[in-house]
Structure 1
Amino acid sequence: MRSAAADPDDLTARARIRDAAILRFGRDGFRTGVRTVAQDAGVSPALVLHHFGSKQGLREACDAHVLATIAAHKTETLGPAGADAVLLKMAQVESFAPLAAYVVRSLQDGEGLARGFLESFVADTRRYLEDGVAAGTVRPSLDEAARARWLALSGIGALLVHLSLHPVGPEGLGPALRAYADAAALPALELYTQGLLTDPALLDAYRRQAGHAPPGAPAPTPPAA
């Protein structure tokens, strides 16, 4: 597994334990016990607790390492893509595959790394959209932050539903992510490039109700005295 940086700690028993835990948690989930992780790492359970204090401490160390690794390699290796595309690319690179499985498990679990991972992709999505608006390739939004959050969370939510309905098989996470990407590509691109509704009436009605009148709409009549 790649490290986020050239760190001497990566040669220690602590790093071996952490990497073994990432691999095992990604495969079997977070109910896996310390004893199993210790066996995978070739150390005693007591040494795991010596380095991390508890199973929760071990998971926090795994979370931090996974997020740091993604952050270090995302721009140069993964590029401006949605969460599903990033996870697919990670799963298809042997050294990143355990991290992709760990992220999916965390998202399904809803704790730990999940919030940090989601927030990082919301921020990335907003940056990519703003770059597109500046370049003239993306339409401006009434609320750039809200649009970015909705797109990021919708994409990840759809991915998690797909993985719940199509559990990962013995061949690993890569084929499951590829099947999702293949199924989603056409409808997603059609929706993003051509839109869905031909009449803006629903949006206009919502903006009026929310107090944000559409351009050109008459000003609301003030209440009678």
Structure 2
Amino acid sequence: MSSAAEDLTARARIRDAALAHFGEHGFEKATIRGIAKTAGVSSGLLRHHFGSKEAVRDACDEYVLGIVRKLNEETWAAYEAGDLGKAPSARDPLGPYNRYIARSLIDGGSTELFDEITRMGEAWLATFDARSGHEPHTSARVRAAVVAAWGLAIPMMSEHLARVLGADLSSPQGFSLLAHALLDLHSIPLMSPEEAAAARTGLSEPPASGLSEQRKRSDPR
């Protein structure tokens, strides 16, 4: 009989193999047999641990979500300490899972991941809104969803980005370039408030759903 530690190791190997197979082939084409072979276990052991391919995918989604949650918590801690340079984003914890995330999005999955990133972003934006004293034209939730879509497009476009940047996004060089570009985009306004006001001329007001939520200073953790 295998020990608990051996079972945990087997589960982790299966999960890691599934992340690679789902990322490479997509959920429908990936097979339990192929995942088990890559993990170095039998198909029977895979089914013993997870029961089904759907359950394996759920475990992969939860693993990636766990990384996102931990990254958010540690980044918030660095922000509170006044030193975002110590944020774990510099270690690019999601880089190895870009292909999995991209394929899942293409296949119509990662709903929970998108919603979680939106929720986290909403809390951050509510905090920044309260600090800035400016009244946005759309709610923190609407803006957070747009930012989540931008952010999750990066895994889908990782090969094109790597080609332009001249470095793979999972490498220290590629991630550093990406991080510096994102910091520039977030910290340097593309237009003045006056230019933005002029650009809104002729646009209809955003629907009530985009403005109805009360802005509160909330903890992004």
- TM (norm. structure 2) is 0.64
Kindly tell me the number of residue pairs found equivalent between the two proteins.
191
Deviation at 1:89, TM superposition (A): 4.1
Give the counterpart of 2:197 among 189, 197, 200. 200
Paired amino acid for 2:158: L
Q: Which residue of 2 aligns with 1:20?
A: 17
- Where structure 1 has 5 or more consecutive residues not aligned to the other structure, the ranges are 1-6, 212-225
Give the counterpart of 2:189 among 188, 191, 212. 191
What is the CA–CA distance in structure 2 between the aligned matches of 1:42 and 1:125, rounded to whole Å?
A: 39
Q: Which residue of 1 aligns with 2:137?
A: 142
CA deviations on 1:37-63 (whole Å, 9 max, x unpaired) are 212222112222333233233112211
CA deviations on 1:183-215 (whole Å, 9 max, x unpaired) are 4543453236x547626244243246979xxxx
Over aligned residue pairs, what C-alpha RMSD do you find? 3.9
Deviation at 1:12, TM superposition (A): 5.1
User: For residues 197 and 49 of structure 1, do their structure 2 counterparts lie closer, same or farther at Cα, with a shift above 3 Å needed?
Assistant: farther
**Larger Rg computed on CA atoms:** 1
Check if 1:163 corresponds to 2:161.
no
User: For residues 13 and 120 of structure 1, do their structure 2 counterparts lie closer, same or farther at Cα, with a shift above 3 Å needed?
Assistant: same
User: For residues 167 and 57 of structure 1, do their structure 2 counterparts lie closer, same or farther at Cα, with a shift above 3 Å needed?
Assistant: farther
Give the counterpart of 2:44 among 30, 43, 46. 46
Q: How does 1:1-225 map to 2 (within 5 A)?
A: 11=8, 13-26=10-23, 28-30=24-26, 31-71=29-69, 73-79=70-76, 89=90, 91=92, 98-99=96-97, 101-107=99-105, 109-112=106-109, 114-136=110-132, 139-144=134-139, 145-157=141-153, 159-160=154-155, 162-166=157-161, 173-174=170-171, 175-191=173-189, 194-195=191-192, 198=195, 200-207=197-204
- Where structure 2 has 5 or more consecutive residues not aligned to the other structure, the ranges are 79-86, 209-221
What is the CA–CA distance in structure 1 between the aligned matches of 2:162 and 2:88, rounded to whole Å?
A: 16
Cα pair 1:25 1:32 within 8 Å, conserved = yes
What is the CA–CA distance in structure 1 between the aligned matches of 2:112 and 2:19, rounded to whole Å?
A: 16
CA deviations on 1:127-170 (whole Å, 9 max, x unpaired) are 1111112122x63212212222223323433x256425246899
Bigger relative contact order (CA 8 A; separation at least 6): 2
